[in-house]
């Protein structure tokens, strides 16, 4: 029984192209292995554009999510900062009044003017 040639992988990885081609012309086992590898390489080249397109779609989705997050968070923070009642409730747990700031107020909670 004839042993199968094991040189293809070593020549493919560590040798130059001319040495590999010369061995492929002489050895039928390595020629068959080279044909299989060529088919696999062709298949990989065929599906490569689909993977690149998928990677671009993921990147575009990440950018869209980041922009949406920035827009929504900016809107919410803008509304909170423009409305002091919401801001006070979030910071202190209650709405602050003039007397909480130390201003003199009358019985109705209005500023006392002397």
Query: Using one digit for the tens of pLDDT, what is the confidence trace for 18-68?
Result: 988 888 898 888 888 889 989 999 999 999 999 999 999 999 999 999 999
Integer Cα distance of 7 and 61 in angstroms: 46
At 59-75, the pLDDT tens digits run 999 999 999 999 999 88
Average pLDDT over residues 107-114: 78
pTM (2 d.p.): 0.47
User: Pick from 44, 14, 42, 40: which is nearest to 23 by CA?
Assistant: 14
- Structure confidence at residue 1 as a pLDDT band (50, 70, 90): very low
Place of tokens 């599906």: 47
22's enclosing H/E stretch is helix 17-26
């Amino acid at each position: 029984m004839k042993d199968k040639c094991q040189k293809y992988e070593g020549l493919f990885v560590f040798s130059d192209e001319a040495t590999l081609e010369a061995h492929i012309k002489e050895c039928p086992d390595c020629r068959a292995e080279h044909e299989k590898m060529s088919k696999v390489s062709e298949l990989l080249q065929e599906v490569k554009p689909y993977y690149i397109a998928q990677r671009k779609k993921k990147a575009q989705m990440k950018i869209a999510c980041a922009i949406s997050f920035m827009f929504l968070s900016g809107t919410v923070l803008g509304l909170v900062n423009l409305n002091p009642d919401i801001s006070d409730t979030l910071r202190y747990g209650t709405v602050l009044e003039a007397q909480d700031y130390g201003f003199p107020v009358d019985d109705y909670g209005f500023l006392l003017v002397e």
